[in-house]
Structure 1
Amino acid sequence: MSVSVTFGDERLAEQAAETARRLAAEGVPQALAGGDPTLWGPQAQQEAAVRLGWLTLPTTSRALLGEIGELVARARAEGLDHVVLAGMGGSSLAPEVITTTADVPLTVLDTTDPVQVGRALEDRLESTIVVVASKSGGTVETDSHRRIYEQAFRAAGIDPASRIVVVTDPGSPLEQAAREAGYQVFLADPDVGGRYSALSAFGLVPSALAGADVARLLDDAAEVLPLLARAEGNPGLDLGAALGAAALAGRDKLVLEDGLSEINGLPDWIEQLIAESTGKSGKGILPIVGADPNDTDDELIAGIDTDGAVAVHGPLGAQFLLWEYATAIAGRVLGIDPFNQPNVAESKENTGALLDRPELPVGTPILVDGPVEVYGELPGGQTPKDLSGVLTQLLEAIPERGYLAVMAYLDREGAFDVPTAEGASFDEMTEAWSAADPATLRGLLAIRTDRPVTFGWGPRFLHSTGQYHKGGPQDGVFLQITGAVETDIEVPGKPYTLGRLQLAQALGDQGALAGRGRPIVRLHLTDRAAGVARLLEAAREV
């Protein structure tokens, strides 16, 4: 196995080398490999003291393999071949990368969209096993999924205890509830934060159930582990020094490219790791996923097994550990605590307060364009005549070094439901799916500006880039998309449905962003399919 960090940019290579030499002279590599919590300053020390367990996961997680193997054998023996993962952020992003790379099926529920959850419920319930994963044990989305599946299993005459597996931290409310219900429980290392948990029980349990070789992941990570204590020949130090030095020099937009890599989807995991770890105190590195570079002076192109200003080569297990180490190093260089997430709770609290109200305060639309209602206050105070005018004004409002974030609280698999002609080629089907996919909006807007355009599915991004949006540099412009719910799902034991929760999450985050004076507009699709079509049409008119 070979793991390496290479540079295709001479200026960046020099900056990284100088920064790495300084860090080595300060003893940082050895201190970090040894778990020294003082590396990020006195204010971060208390948090860091209980967040460095990821450094030893390649060895400590091996203790889980026996029990995981027994679980996999039981599931196979009982014909449980539909694996559903209910988890958010760090509890879902790594397993999604692992299973996609291994080409094994895993249904990931990191959404409150009732259409997407309903589709999973209707899929082979008789052969479904559900992994409920939450570090805190109180994640509202995951708690809702658990309640819904418990009810569905009981209604089908299935004992939930035979179908639900829980991954959580010791002592969490979920652990207590799970043990009372008779569920199998895997306890994760409490000294590992969610976004650093790829090689913990959160990454391993669902991935192994789906059919991935998780022992190989640990083997690959273990091989790179000794390199991380070195002052020289340390790929984690080289990568972290490059990320930190580039950001300090103004190259704080990290364009992640993986087109030629055999690893599938790693940029989505890196996006959470870096955005949530560095986006605070008005600082941060903004990862850009699925976008072409704009060749602006604030961009840094990072390749995954491909070319870039900096490129990382190596197998998935090693990549996980390298990027975690590099993020911790970049935090040291930037002078921030890479382990806390001080602004994530704000939107959660707003959501809770909204759910306590009899009616959600959706407001009055400032414009209606067919199946699309426009809410909010547009930059400049003028109301355009149509949806393309709204998009134009948002693009024009992006600051010189800012970005546009598109946030869709919709069904991220809905485009695949669009009918295609019998006998259609793969290219024809792909074109039909793209024409029905809200994510297509990102590309349509990106070609109309030289500023970064990001796209996130809500509420998934709230556990990822949501921290950067609120805690990072205040130069973002925000576009929310919500949609009407025709068939909702009750959350058993709670006074709300998934549709109400989803809308409350959008409104809660809208309030958090608007409170910072950032431009934010919400587009509500009164008809989802027609609304997406009109939205993409309007983007082409810009």
Structure 2
Amino acid sequence: MIEISVDIVDAKLADETATLVETLVADKVASRIAAQDATLWGADAQSEAAIRLGWTALHETSRPLLAEIDALRAELHSEGVDRVVLAGMGGSSLAPEVITATAGVPLVVLDTTDPAQVADALAGDLTRTVLVVSSKSGGTVETDSHRRIFEKAFAAQGIDAASRIVVVTDPGSPFEELAGQAGYRKVFLADPNVGGRYSALTAFGLVPSGLAGADIATLLDEASAAASVLAKDEDTNAGLVLGAALGVRHSEGAEKVVFADTDTSVKGFPDWVEQLIAESTGKQGTGLLPVATEGTDAPGFADAGDDATATAIGTPAGAARVSTSGSLGGLFLLWEYATAVAGRLLGINPFDQPDVEAAKKAARALLDQPTGSGDAEKPSLVDGPVEVYGHFEGTSLPEVLRSFVASVPEFGYVSVQAYLDRLDDASAALLRPELARRTGFQTTFGWGPRFLHSTGQYHKGGHQNGVFLQLTGAVEDDLEVPDRPYTLGVLQRAQALGDGQVLKEHGRPVLRLHLTDRAAGLAHLVKAVQEVERP
């Protein structure tokens, strides 16, 4: 079994961390987390913490799921059903994506409202497809839309939709009741005392991963081995060391944690851990902003300044001050413990997400308007295939971008939010390193609305020094959402506009660029970014 480890590369940080760890050990923080002591984060957090600490025991409590998942997989395979599509947002999709990527098994993940990307999933062989619908309540608008669309598609091919839908939800949820009434193939109930971002080892992480063929029994074994270490009040406890290091760096002004993946066996871990950190710590005007980069040579990591902690997932490399390594199951639990510890040090409740709902409400309000999208705004500028929305000076796209970058405060950050097709519009991700290189500011990238269930909490609740570049695109072939008064395209647009509205209400600069031709627009935008430099 691979042991988990934390390496503090920076000697000064190592000394400061060791001093703080002594206090954490004296306060028995590790054993109290393992014992699910809800008083660790103060009186204001106690009621929420009391129902959110089930994650500490999942390596044991999730064991009964293994046989059920194996049995269902065998049943499906006997019927020729071996393609797994997952409809889920946030914690319901991020962990399964990492688990299956690390295991090298295929899983189609739907955490988008982009019509083309959903159409791509529908274009697969539905005769071999099972849809896993994961939602704690069933009310998540994206996931509900996917369920409705796939039900219709199954029926159109003469397939009994109910026999091809598997549900993961909380016990007693409206979704459990709906699934029973609809006669869906199987309902898996997750531990209700675990929040979404801590749910990697619940049914939300295990069911789609196991059905896809990942070795989830070994994953729990790895977590079990880590749990026995992480629960000990010792100065070598990796969870205490990592949490203390993050707390020390934050107290010194390093409010960003910049990730590079240096592990060849664990795939895509930064995409999972960014939700855990952002939603857990980004509130009350404080927190740690995770920045996932492309590698140790990437802008933002290689040149991380005093406002950021370069962290390697795997062996220490490049500019890393901190590195963590181990098995995937061990890393899940290590970072969960460390995040809970960091929450205590920052003086916040690491188990609530008070600002996540704001964007959802704004999107729903726009959907309720007669036009569906509520977009009566006119572009301030049209530059080729790019429409510019926002109050930034300039008569060309490069000039507007320079004005936008000039609005970044000292030690602030740029957030690129692409409400596009993660597959066909993948080149949008090139904007993160390019902007980081050109501006010198830490730059994050998120696919919308996926990031709303991940880093979205931090953007509203964390340090208020971000500026936001939204990308939206023309929809050529929209998809109807059965029995709903909107299409996926309208929903996607409402989510972008709704989140932008909330960010503006927080006093944050928002620049939206609408691509009237997606491919041409992205090429035009990348070229314009190459003319931008830090003011």
Partner Cα distance (1:151, 1:169) in 2: 25
CA-CA distance at 1:136 after TM superposition: 2.5
Q: 2:202 aligns with which of 200, 203, 210?
A: 200
| Match among 386, 402, 426 for residue 372 of structure 1 | 386
Shift of 1:259: 3.0
Q: Which moved more, 1:236-245 or 1:365-374?
A: 236-245
State the distance in 2 between where 1:204 and 1:480 align: 33
Q: Does 1:296 align with 2:305?
A: yes
Counterpart residue identity of residue 376, structure 1: G
Task: Select between 43-52 and 23-32 the one with higher mean Cα deviation.
Answer: 23-32
1:27-176 equivalent positions in 2, closer than 5 A: 27-176=28-177
Aligned equivalents of 1:137 and 1:37: distance in 2?
A: 28
Q: C-alpha displacement at 1:455, in angstroms?
A: 0.4
Corresponding residue number in structure 1 for 2:341? 329
Q: What amino acid does structure 1 have at the position aligned with 2:403?
A: Q
Superposition deviation, residue 297 in structure 1: 0.8
Distance 1:522 1:321 in 2: 38
Whichever residue aligns with residue 489 of structure 1, its letter is L
- The yes-or-no answer on 1:520 pairing with 2:519 is no
Corresponding letter in the other structure for 2:225? E
Q: C-alpha distance in 1, partners of 2:530/2:206?
A: 43
Q: Are the counterparts in 1 of residues 405 and 439 from structure 2 also a CA contact under 8 Å?
A: yes
Deviates more, 1:515-524 or 1:384-393: 384-393
d(CA) in 2 for partners of 1:171 and 1:374?
A: 46
Deviations 1:191-219 (A, max 9, x none): 00000000010000000111100000000
Q: What does residue 481 of structure 2 align with?
A: 491
CA distance in 1, matches of 2:342, 2:363: 32
Residue 432 of structure 2 corresponds to residue 442 of structure 1: yes
The residue number in structure 2 matching 1:349 is 361
Q: Secondary structure at the match of 1:243?
A: helix
Answering whether residue 412 of structure 2 is matched by residue 410 of structure 1, we say: no
User: What letter is aligned with 1:302?
Assistant: T
Distance 1:38 1:137 in 2: 31
1:252 aligns with 2:261: no
Q: Give the whole-Å Cα distance in 1 for the aligned partners of 2:263 and 2:232.
A: 30
Q: Which residue of 2 aligns with 1:418?
A: none
Which string of whole-angstrom CA distances, capped at 9 and with x for unpartnered residues, describes residues 115-144 of structure 1?
Answer: 000010011111111100011221100000
Tell whether the 8 Å contact from 2:304 to 2:310 is kept in structure 1 after alignment: no
CA contact (8 A) 1:261 1:304 kept: no
SS in 2 for 1:447: helix
- Check whether the contact 2:388–2:513 (CA below 8 A) recurs between aligned residues: yes
1:482 and 1:523 mapped to 2: Cα distance?
Answer: 6
Aligned residues: 518
Q: Distance in 1 between matches of 2:434 and 2:5?
A: 35
- Does the Cα contact within 8 Å between 1:261 and 1:306 map onto a contact in 2? no
Instruction: Name 2:451's counterpart in structure 1.
Output: 461
Residues 42-71 of structure 1: CA deviation (Å, up to 9, x unaligned): 110010000000000001100111110101
How many angstroms apart in 1 are the aligned matches of 2:304 and 2:198? 31
Normalization by structure 1: what TM-score? 0.94
Q: Distance in 2 between matches of 1:267 and 1:446?
A: 18
SS of the residue aligned with 2:259?
strand
Q: Distance in 2 between matches of 1:342 and 1:414?
A: 33
3-state SS, counterpart of residue 341 of structure 1: coil
Structure 1 equivalent of residue 460 of structure 2: 470
1:479 paired residue among 461, 469, 475: 469
Structure 2 runs not aligned, ≥5 long: none
- Post-superposition CA distance 1:282-330 (Å, at most 9, x none): 0010111014322311111111112131111110000001101110000
CA contact (8 A) 1:371 1:525 kept: yes
- Does the 8 Å contact 1:137/1:169 carry over to 2? no
Q: Within 5 Å, which residues of 2 pair with 1:195-234?
A: 195-232=197-234, 233-234=236-237
Provide the secondary structure at the position in 1 that maps to 2:374: coil
1:261 Cα offset (Å): 3.2
Give 1:306's aligned residue.
Answer: 315
Contact 1:255–1:288 under 8 Å retained in 2: yes
1:315 to 327, 330, 350: 327
User: 1:80, 1:229 → 2: CA distance?
Assistant: 41
Give 1:256 deviation, angstroms.
0.8
Residues 32 and 229, structure 1, Cα contact 8 Å, conserved in 2: yes
The residue that corresponds to 2:374 in the other structure is 361
Distance 1:14 1:257 in 2: 24
Separation of aligned partners in 1, 2:172 and 2:161: 22
When the two chains are superposed, the root-mean-square deviation of aligned CA atoms in Å is 1.0
In 2, are the aligned partners of 1:479 and 1:522 still within 8 Å (CA)? yes
Name the SS for the 2:62 alignment partner.
helix
Higher mean C-alpha displacement, 293-302 vs 446-455: 293-302
Question: Deviation at 1:229?
Answer: 2.1
Q: Distance in 2 between matches of 1:220 and 1:534?
A: 47
Query: CA-to-partner distance for each residue in 1:232-263, whole Å, 9 max, x for gaps?
Result: 13111111111112111211211111134311
Conserved? CA contact 2:98–2:269, under 8 Å:
yes
The one-letter amino acid of 2:525's match is L
2:502 maps to 1:540: no
- Pairwise CA distance, 1:35: 0.3
How far 1:361 sits from its partner (Å)? 3.0
CA distance in 1, matches of 2:106, 2:527: 34
- The one-character-per-residue Cα deviations of 1:258-278 (angstroms, maximum 9, x if unpaired) are 134311100000100001110
1:166 alignment partner, SS class: strand
* Mapped partners of 1:361, 1:206: distance in 2: 36
CA displacement 1:338-381 (0-9 Å, x = unmatched):
00000000000001111000123320100000110001222xxx
- 3-state SS of 2:438 partner: coil
Letter in 2 for 1:399: P
Quote the offset at 1:541 in angstroms: 2.3
1:361, 1:32 → 2: CA distance? 46
Tell me how far 1:34 sits from its aligned partner: 0.5
Paired amino acid for 1:341: Q
Residues in 1 aligned to 2:8 and 2:396: alpha-carbon distance in whole angstroms: 46
Which shifted more, 213-222 or 353-362? Answer: 353-362
Amino acid at match of 2:254: R
Cα distance in 1 for residues equivalent to 2:162 and 2:47: 38
CA distance in 1, matches of 2:174, 2:401: 44
Q: Which residue of 1 aligns with 2:281?
A: 278
Structure 1 Cα separation of the partners of residues 263 and 448 of structure 2: 28
Query: Which residues of structure 1 form unaligned runs of 5+?
Result: 416-435
**Do the aligned residues in 1 keep the contact of 2:367 with 2:374 (CA within 8 Å)?**
no
Supply the distance in 2 between the matched residues of 1:156 and 1:255 (Cα, whole angstroms). 46
Q: What's the CA shift for 1:527?
A: 1.0
Identity %, equivalent residues? 60
